[in-house]
A = this chain, B = another copy of it.
Amino acid sequence: MGQMVNIVQNNVMRITALFLLIFIGNFVLSPVVAQDRYVLVIHGGAGTILKSQSTPEQEKRYKESLEQALHAGQLVLQKGGQALDAVEAAVRVLEDNPLFNAGKGAVFTNQGKNELDAAIMDGRSLAAGAIAGVTTIRNPISTARAVMEQSEHVMLTGLGAEQFAKEKGLELVDPSYFHTPERWRSLQRARHRDSLDNLKKSQLPLAKEEAMLIRKEKYGTVGAVALDKHGNLAAATSTGGMTNKKWGRVGDAPLIGAGTYANNLSAAISCTGWGEYFIRLVMAKSICDQMEYGGRSLQDAANEMVLKKLPALGGDGGLIAVDKEGNIAMPFCTEGMYRGYIRQDSLNGPIKKEVALFKN
């Protein structure tokens, strides 16, 4: 009888201890692992991307490349890593891929150089880092992150940014690393066209295909946004800018608020398109503000900016975004946008993945 009581008492104590452990465990872990959902969205540029002009092989190459980038970011997010690490990992894959206008594969300036820009932002702290106009940094997104984490500054430019990268031990390459034959041909076409005077241009209107090719070659950016299992948001964008650009032109990609923004209170956003219009609208921050101060949904705010205000001003392009609830937006007002996402909404739930190039 005494033994029975002891067994019961022991079991009660065990069960109590177990509940206590679960309670404490939850209490301790809850601020760290807030949810089991993670989302990663990426883009490889928006522009004249038409199914009628793509071969199945080309389409396959782009899709496989997007999937590689998604995979790199997912590896981080799946195991409970940071959104910041995931967007950096995904963008590095796209930077290393010559198909996209960022890192290797960057377009050429008017002077035949590859000048790269990048920005990254942490939605937890509003910490941000950016570089512009660099020619020897293999992965600009990682230097942007070093600016954020290892300097007092947000934005470094030109030779100074390269000196910083060198001091911090980041990988530098000879400028010839960025030289790809396809982008070089693009520059020659753009130079030829820009050398024609206006009279000749109007007398010799471009064939529609040629005009679309030039447009396609002029812009391009890569980017990633993520929501991690801890509920944190991050955004990253990297680009080679505009083919045949002159005068040290900087687009929206490295400008915090224009091409890149992340705030845990609203959303993480990365833009691509005709940079000047994204700067004038301060695109990414405007969407976050409409959510935070105007009570709009991510989808409504993103659609209004990209499908209405951007074309009304004369610009075009698109963006990717994820909000704190895991909602995704990928609007664009061009023919297509290289894009994809991967997400898991609960611990053992299905992993959803999609990559796309054209309009649905």
Contact = CB atoms under 8 A, between A and B. Distances in A.
A127 interface: yes
A302 interface: no
Contacts of A79: none
Interface stretch (A67-75, A279-287, A351-359): A279-287
Contact of A285 (B161, B250, B286, B296): B286
Contacts of A261: 282
A275 B156 CA distance: 13
A105 interface: no
A248 interface: yes
B285 A256 contact: no
A290 to B, nearest CB: 5
A360 B255 CA distance: 36
A117 to B, nearest CB: 10
B285 A247 contact: no
A280 B126 contact: yes
Judged by DSSP, the binding face of A is mixed
A256 B256 contact: no
A293 interface: yes
Contacts of A164: 246-247
Contacts of A281: 126
Contacts of A280: 126-128, 154, 256
Interface in A129-179: 132-133, 151-161, 163-164
Nearest to A134: B248
A247 B156 contact: yes
A308 interface: no
A311 to B, nearest CB: 14
A189 B261 CA distance: 36
A282 B256 contact: yes
A231 interface: no
A118 to B, nearest CB: 14
Contacts of A247: 151, 153, 156, 160-161, 163-164
Interface in A257-296: 257-258, 261, 275-276, 279-282, 285-286, 289-290, 293-294, 296
A249 interface: yes
Nearest to A276: B154
A251 B154 CA distance: 8
Contacts of A246: 160, 163-164
Contact of A249 (B155, B286, B296): B155
Interface in A67-117: none
Given A126-B313, A128-B279, A256-B258, A248 B156 contact: yes
Interface of A: 126-128, 132-133, 151-161, 163-164, 246-251, 255-258, 261, 275-276, 279-282, 285-286, 289-290, 293-294, 296, 313
27 contacts: A126-B313, A127-B280, A128-B280, A132-B157, A151-B247, A153-B247, A154-B280, A155-B251, A155-B255, A155-B279, A156-B247, A156-B249, A156-B250, A157-B158, A157-B248, A160-B247, A161-B248, A163-B246, A255-B256, A255-B257, A257-B257, A282-B285, A285-B285, A286-B289, A289-B289, A293-B293, A293-B296
The 5 closest A-B pairs by CB, nearest first: A160-B248, A293-B294, A289-B289, A257-B282, A160-B247
